[in-house]
Amino acid sequence: MKITIIGTGYVGLVTGACLAEVGNDVFCLDVDPRKIDILNNGGMPIHEPGLREIIARSRAAGRITFSTDVAASVAHGEIQFIAVGTPPDEDGSADLQYVLEAARNIGRTMNGFKVIVDKSTVPVGTAQRVRAVIAEELEKRGLADSAQHRFSIVSNPEFLKEGAAVDDFMRPDRIVVGVDNDEDGDKAREKIRRLYAPFNRNHERTLYMDVRSAEFTKYAANAMLATRISFMNEMANLADTVGADIEAVRRGIGSDPRIGYHFLYAGVGYGGSCFPKDVQALIRTGSEMGHSLRILEAVEEVNHEQKEVLVRKITGTLGEDLSGRTFAVWGLSFKPNTDDMREAPSRRVIAQLLARGATVRAYDPVATSEAKRVFALDLASTPDQQARLHFASTQDETLSGADALVIVTEWKEFKSPDFTHLKSELKTPLIFDGRNLYEPEAMSELGIDYHSIGRPYARPAEHSSDADRT
């Protein structure tokens, strides 16, 4: 099938690459010529494991094209995926200007029946707005009643995890499709069925529903996952107070099949491009409809405060004034296997350390370039703080003479360091672990002063007493 993907961000690029991988002829459009140049030269504008390889295969087979030519993109695809960004507006609502502009471009040049698929995360009612924009453009062309210029709007939200997006697309647990129950909708349903047939070989994964329910499903799913994270962080903070171990608690409640283990890890809060803005957008939608979503308001508040917890542990140990102290920071991206710095907890942690006078040496396996760009903007008004932030090319480079190690992102390479070497490099054997990578008792036996999230404080064994351990 001939497919057009509008937007080559995480969602658009993964969608286009995976659809080309299974044999479709895919045209990827982006209005950013820099991004298209990168792709046409064999580069990647994002870090996503496995994506470069499948794009290379499809390019070699002539199944994928990258271009800024809007008219050519509309002419190419019988199915047009809108996969552009929907950043949060000032009031927290989703900014739909890019979605509606994509729809407008389709209406300006389309010829023949088109299926327009909203792949971007959009609030309930967006399909109706997309339909109105396209109809308006067709009316301007005098084609409002043309039988050859019919179209159907489909909602097909993505459920891709950054860092595992390719696998999520190729082996989906569900494919949600919202489609109208009319003649055009029936045609669209059949085209979508054919498109996703390769992903339903073993069993049917596609869930058909009305368009508004499909739009709502995406927001509800992300809101639920964000709620689980904030719930566990609330429990972790209470565990700190009452002396419980949140990891033991996690295993205890996760073993209940009604609860499960997914998204029950305590830490320094969620970030990225989805959870923060989707929770905000859903809260805003509720407000517009006269409904106060009190649980989600609490989820957002808890997450905001959770990004301060690690810094409070640091200042509780070393004092509020961190002038003259140096911190090694491991992990900058909001999660492993991505270079995404949007709403990353590291931004808040590092900003707080710098504001208190500290020097920071930071390392991330893939996000350093993006982190440099982001922090240049974040710290533009405080050049003195910017001068105290340094980026290392290896995790080991961050350690020499540092007063403490701060772990913010749970990259695999951080899980089993050489602790003997680590102790010898640090000025003091002090770790603040925002992802609970290590066992407190093991750290105590190694002589490391270890602070984590919702777990017993591990005092170095050579300085501890029986009273400390009770």
In the three-class reduction of DSSP (H, G, I as helix; E, B as strand; rest coil), residue 180 is classed as coil
Would you say 342 is a known binding-site residue? yes
Residue bearing tokens 């029946």 = 113
Would you say 427 is a known binding-site residue? no
Phi, psi of 375 (to 5 degrees): -70, -30
Would you say 423 is a known binding-site residue? no
- One-letter amino acid for residue 228 of the chain: R
Distance from C-alpha of 155 to C-alpha of 385, rounded to nearest angstrom = 45
Distance from C-alpha of 247 to C-alpha of 244, rounded to nearest angstrom = 9
Would you say 218 is a known binding-site residue? yes
Would you say 457 is a known binding-site residue? no
Distance from C-alpha of 206 to C-alpha of 294, rounded to nearest angstrom = 32
Would you say 382 is a known binding-site residue? no
Q: Which tokens go with 463?
A: 């300085």
Would you say 21 is a known binding-site residue? no
H helices of 243-344, in order, are 246-254, 275-288, 294-306, 309-318
Would you say 143 is a known binding-site residue? no
Would you say 414 is a known binding-site residue? no
In the three-class reduction of DSSP (H, G, I as helix; E, B as strand; rest coil), residue 123 is classed as coil
Q: Are 166 and 50 in contact (CB under 8 A)?
A: yes
From 274, 318, 322, 366, the catalytic residue:
274
Radius of gyration (Cα) for the chain, nearest Å?
A: 25
Spatial strand order of the sheet with 430-433 comes to 389-391, 359-363, 326-330, 404-407, 430-433, 449-451
DSSP structure class, residue 289: T
Would you say 375 is a known binding-site residue? no
Would you say 121 is a known binding-site residue? yes
Would you say 377 is a known binding-site residue? no
Would you say 9 is a known binding-site residue? no
Would you say 35 is a known binding-site residue? yes
Q: Which tokens go with 323?
A: 């002038």
274 counts as catalytic: yes
Q: How far is CA 314 from the centre of its chain?
A: 27
Distance from C-alpha of 235 to C-alpha of 244, rounded to nearest angstrom = 10
Would you say 415 is a known binding-site residue? no
Binding-site residue ranges for substrate: 159-162, 218, 263-267, 271, 335
Binding residue ranges: 30, 35, 86, 121, 159-162, 218, 263-267, 271, 277, 335, 342
Annotated binding site for NAD(+): 30, 35, 86, 121, 162, 277, 342
The residues assigned a catalytic role are 274
